[in-house]
């Protein structure tokens, strides 16, 4: 079958760009040449950018570098790019296991970093916060501290009016987490489960762009987003998915007859979750 044309917005909801060590803007060019138009760029883990934070303010350098690469990406795209800023939840293990922090001290530092991220959400340009909890087994005190960090992210999201993207363990039932967000005043649609399967209970799924996961999401008729989690790490060149994947999988969805799902992923859900108009921001 001949290839289909992409004539509307195509959004990758979660990828990373490393302008210093990785492909940076060259990866954005690959995305754009493949038909991609809009990006949500999540800051890399702070220690990947050489920041071993001692205070919340130390995260600011990570956020500023991410904003710089987002601004550069806008010059390449027909649409827009926005930053998603926060503290990677696996930092807690680095702090506790390698740097001698107690779980409570690590919690406080990570919450302080999220408060700095929230400044960029309150005033722009950040469109969402990033938080979550480890995706692997941890001690009870680390688990409790991680949940406290995530709940603080929900409070900050509610205060600033932005969504929260979550990095968590796998699975499909995150109803309790969504209830925590609602208790903090954050609508459940603005809780986004990064690296999601095709269907989950609670948050809005940001679906890894594998055909089987996307098919489940498309058949469900529920809101969803598409992502690659491109890591832009020269030491892990084949890790996760490349920047061309979301445009290519969007074409596949169209060939399979899922036009409504494409509108859901690239127009309707971004509007509902982030308040962005991907059509109006498309040149």
DSSP conformation class of 267? I
Phi, psi angle pair for 256, to nearest 5°: -85, 0
Residues in the chain, total:
283
The span from the CA of 103 to the CA of 86, in Å, is 18
Q: Is-contact 56 63, C-beta < 8 A?
A: no
Q: Is-contact 247 35, C-beta < 8 A?
A: yes
Nearest C-alpha neighbor of 194 from the set 72, 15, 3, 5: 15
Q: Is-contact 167 194, C-beta < 8 A?
A: yes
The count of C-alpha atoms lying within 13 angstroms of the C-alpha of 130, restricted to the half-sphere facing its C-beta, is 30
Q: Can you read off the two tokens belonging to residue 172? A: 């499909």
- Give the other-Cβ count within 10 Å of 154's Cβ: 24
Name residue, tokens 């904003």: 67
pTM, full prediction: 0.97
Q: Where are the domains of the chain?
A: 11-274
Q: Can you identify the CATH homologous superfamily of domain 11-274?
A: Metal-dependent hydrolases (3.20.20.140)
* Residue-by-residue pLDDT tens, the chain, 283 positions: 457 889 899 999 999 999 999 999 999 999 999 999 999 999 999 999 999 999 999 999 999 999 999 999 999 999 999 999 999 999 999 999 999 999 999 999 999 999 999 999 998 999 999 999 999 999 999 999 999 999 999 999 999 999 999 999 999 999 999 999 999 999 999 999 999 999 999 999 999 999 999 999 999 999 999 999 999 998 887 778 999 999 999 999 999 999 999 999 999 999 999 999 999 999 7
Distances (CA, A) of 22 to 109, 163, 236, 258: 28, 27, 10, 34
């Amino acid at each position: 079958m001949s290839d289909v044309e992409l004539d509307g917005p195509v959004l990758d909801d979660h990828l990373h760009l490393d302008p210093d060590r990785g492909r940076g803007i060259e990866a954005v060019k690959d995305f754009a040449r493949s038909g991609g138009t809009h990006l949500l760029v999540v800051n890399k883990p702070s220690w990947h950018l050489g920041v071993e934070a001692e205070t919340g303010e130390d995260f600011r350098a990570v956020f500023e570098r991410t904003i710089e690469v987002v601004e550069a990406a806008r010059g390449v795209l027909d649409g827009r790019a926005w930053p998603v800023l926060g503290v990677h939840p696996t930092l807690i293990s680095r702090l506790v296991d390698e740097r001698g922090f107690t779980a409570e001290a690590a919690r406080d530092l990570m919450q302080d970093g999220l408060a700095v991220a929230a400044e960029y959400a309150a005033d722009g340009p950040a469109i969402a916060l990033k938080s979550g909890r480890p995706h692997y087994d941890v001690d009870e005190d680390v688990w409790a501290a991680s949940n406290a960090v995530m709940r603080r992210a929900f409070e900050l999201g509610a205060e600033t009016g932005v969504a929260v993207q979550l990095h968590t363990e796998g699975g499909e039932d995150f109803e309790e987490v969504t209830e925590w967000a609602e208790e903090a005043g954050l609508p459940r649609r603005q809780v986004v489960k990064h690296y999601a399967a095709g269907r989950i209970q609670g948050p809005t799924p940001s679906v890894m762009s594998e055909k089987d996961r996307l098919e489940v999401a498309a058949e469900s008729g529920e809101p969803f987003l598409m992502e690659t989690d491109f890591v832009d790490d020269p030491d892990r060149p084949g890790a996760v998915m490349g920047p061309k994947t979301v445009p290519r999988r969007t074409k596949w969805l169209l060939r399979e007859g899922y036009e409504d799902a494409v509108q859901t992923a690239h127009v309707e859900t971004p509007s509902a979750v982030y308040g962005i108009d991907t059509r109006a921001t498309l040149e």
